[in-house]
Chain A
Amino acid sequence: AQTVTQSQPEMSVQEAETVTLSCTYDTSESDYYLFWYKQPPSRQMILVIRQEAYKQQNATENRFSVNFQKAAKSFSLKISDSQLGDAAMYFCAYGGATNKLIFGTGTLLAVQP
């Protein structure tokens, strides 16, 4: 069975600084997707970024980028120029042969002004 591990329960970053959230996963599948979702206090789940495993190029969405290391089964999220609105719970998720997503336990990110 596939698993997703987020080893950082909480992180903190200064406004305008850069922070990296870690995620590792385990799978025997060769074709899959990886996601980062953001959950602010409103509890709405918002997709931040998506990576297809067959693509070597790391995905980027404005200030958000990933470091995808397929061999190491690692998928970290980098947030540049952190803003107060980035404060939220961040979930890493795996999607494989079925179309369900398996989520990690989340990392709570605080942004200090």
Chain B
Amino acid sequence: DAGVIQSPRHEVTEMGQEVTLRCKPISGHNSLFWYRQTMMRGLELLIYFNNNVPIDDSGMPEDRFSAKMPNASFSTLKIQPSEPRDSAVYFCASSRARRTGELFFGEGSRLTVL
């Protein structure tokens, strides 16, 4: 079985540019999560979806961040405009259970904003 697939693995961009991170969850999983990992703040939940519907976006840092899930097999996290403080590893994860169960993580997208 294919795991959670994220792209790109690495992204280097300049301040002010738009960044789009992509995620394909595991087939059959109905929940999708976007986390951000930094040295200072650890793993933070940005937003999560159940059945393609955003449930909790309270972790989204500001209006520059947006996430969509147009269908069960694809999600995007967009940052526009990007800033150096957005540099981090962004993880996508998915799970099958409506109640908490194991999250399956992608390999992460490392974003560097110069």
A residues contacting B by CB (< 8 A) are 32-33, 35, 42-45, 47, 50, 91, 95-96, 98-106
Contacts and interface: CB of A to CB of B under 8 A. Distances in A.
Interface in B47-76: 48, 50, 55-56
Contact of A103 (B43, B95, B108): B43
A95 B101 CA distance: 8
B45 A100 contact: yes
B85 interface: no
Contact of B101 (A33, A42, A44, A102): A33
8 contacts: A42-B107, A45-B103, A95-B100, A99-B31, A100-B56, A101-B33, A101-B103, A102-B45
A6 to B, nearest CB: 9
Interface residues of B, number: 24
B42 A50 contact: no
B34 to A, nearest CB: 11
B114 interface: no
Q: Is the interface of B mostly helix, strand, loop or mixed?
A: strand
A33 B101 CA distance: 8
Contact of A99 (B42, B43, B95, B107): B95
Interface of B: 31, 33, 35, 42-43, 45, 48, 50, 55-56, 89, 91, 93, 95, 97-103, 105, 107-108
B102 A99 contact: no
A98 B55 contact: yes
A42 B42 CA distance: 16
Contact of B42 (A35, A43, A98, A105): A105
Given A95-B100, A96-B100, A101-B100, A44 B42 contact: no
A46 to B, nearest CB: 8
A45 B91 contact: yes
Contacts of B33: 100-101
A104 to B, nearest CB: 7
Contacts of B93: 45
A100 B48 contact: yes
A33 B95 CA distance: 14
Given A45-B93, A102-B45, 11 more contacts: A35-B102, A43-B89, A44-B108, A45-B91, A45-B103, A99-B97, A99-B98, A100-B33, A100-B48, A103-B35, A106-B43
